[in-house]
Structure formats: structure tokens, C-alpha cells
Amino acid sequence: MNSKLVKKIGILDGMGAFAGARFFQMTLEKITQGGLPIPEIILNAVAVDDFISDPSKLKLAQRILSSRVRQLNRQKTSLVVMACNTAHLIHPSLRQISLCEFPSIIDLVVQKAVALGLKKVGILASPMTIKTKLYENALFQSGLKPFIPDNNFQKLLEKIIRAVISNSVDAKDLKNLKLKADVFIALHGLDGLILGCTELPLAFPASKFTNIKILDSLDILADAVVEHIKN
């Protein structure tokens, strides 16, 4: 194979290591299932302080991630992706310094929702992602109607997100997640539900929801990598 034709992909993760590992495996599976050449993949697991509930740590995260993007620039990547929804608070500034394509996971998910013809979309995400309206604003701008969980449901989501990060998910919390999601969907008559934190797909029983479209942000991001390799 001509090495010049092999794409070079940079993956920023580490904000949640298990989600990053899932994304890496999922992407490789999609690539091989599509009969595509395996690209050179640079997995950059970034150690940053928890900024999910502490906005003061976001500036430090921005400095660290900016340095990683510049490092990927030097490695001449053809695509960079970031396997963390909350970190997309600083995606615009990171994209400005990237020398290659650097798609937003938020934009990709919303584009998928539009393509599916969804109208009323629920957002399950970290407290920071919900508070800063990353998905809400993008959905509104695309003509979709977003809905966010009540405070109790948000607290459960945060607990589960942190449990996934520490590999300590409790079965009772997962059962409660399914129950609260059912109520949330029925209350607002949702036709779509965004898993807007890359940890959530590791805990969310998507297969048990048969009458609503589940938008897995990691899965959609992996599809973007595959499309890049195809082109």
C-alpha cells in the first residue's frame, strides 16, 4: 500500500479514559467493517483536571489541549477529533489553531438529528454541557426543539458519568436511569434523545428504547472518521 494514501488521525481523549477506549475500538471496528485501510492513529490521552463541575479549571484544560493540537499539527494529521462533549466548550479556539479538519461533535450530532427529521430532542449530558447550552443553542439554530432533564435527573446523570469515569457504575443507578429516561421521553413527547456525554453510552441501555432515536455522540463521531478515510 502506498503510505502517501494512508490517512493520519489524531484523537484527543483522556477526559474520560473508558470513553476514549470505547471510541478507539468503535472506530477501528467501523473502519474494518467498511473494508477500509487502517489509518495511522495517534491517540492522545490528555490528563486534565475535572472541569465537569468546576469551570475554573477550564482555562488550564484549554492550555493543555491547545498544546496537544499543536503537537498534532507537527505530526501532520489529516483529521483531529475530540472524544469529549464538555471539552467542546473550547472547540472553537482549538479549531482555529488546528492545521487540519477538526469537526465538532456537537455539530455532527445536530446534523444527524436534522437528517433524521427529528423535531423534539432531549439532551442527556454533563452539568457543564447542559448549563452552557452547547446542544440547546445548536438545536435551536437548526430549527429543532431541545429539552433538558429536571434537576434530579441531571444529578443522576452526573453521578453515572462520574461512575463510568471511575469504573464503578451501580446497577441500581442504571435501573433508575432507564426509569427516568422513560418519564422524560413521555413527558415531552420526544422523538430523539442525545447522549451528549461520551461516558453515557457506556451505561445507557439504548437497545431498550425501541420507539425513539438514540443519538450516540461517540458513534456519530466515529462515523465522521470513517467518512474522512473514505474521502
User: Which of these ranges, 57-61, 89-93, 196-200, has the smallest mean pLDDT?
Assistant: 57-61
pLDDT, residue 60, reads 84
- Whether residue 166 is predicted with pLDDT greater than 90 in this model: the reply is no
Mean pLDDT, residues 188-194: 97
Name the one residue in this structure whose C-alpha cell is 435501573. 175
User: Does this chain's domain 3-104+219-230 share its CATH topology with 106-217?
Assistant: yes
Closest to 82 (Cα-Cα) out of 191, 221, 178? 221
Span 11-27, average pLDDT: 83
Is residue 1 predicted with pLDDT exceeding 60? no
Architecture of domain 3-104+219-230: 3-Layer(aba) Sandwich (3.40)
Averaged confidence pLDDT in the chain: 91
Task: Look up residue 51 and give its DSSP letter.
Answer: -
Question: Could you tell me the pLDDT band of residue 53, with boundaries at 50, 70 and 90?
Answer: low
Instruction: Classify domain 106-217 at the CATH class level.
Output: alpha beta
Which residue, 38, 29, 35, 43, is CA-closest to 6?
38
Q: What is the pLDDT of residues 102-154, one digit of tens each?
A: 999 999 999 999 999 999 999 999 988 999 999 999 999 999 999 999 999 99
The span from the CA of 213 to the CA of 220, in Å, is 13
What is the pLDDT, as a whole number, of residue 137? 97
Tell me, what's the pLDDT at 113? 98
pLDDT at 52 over 90: no
Q: Where are the domains of the chain?
A: 3-104+219-230, 106-217
Examine the pLDDT at 50 and tell me if it is beyond 80.
Answer: no
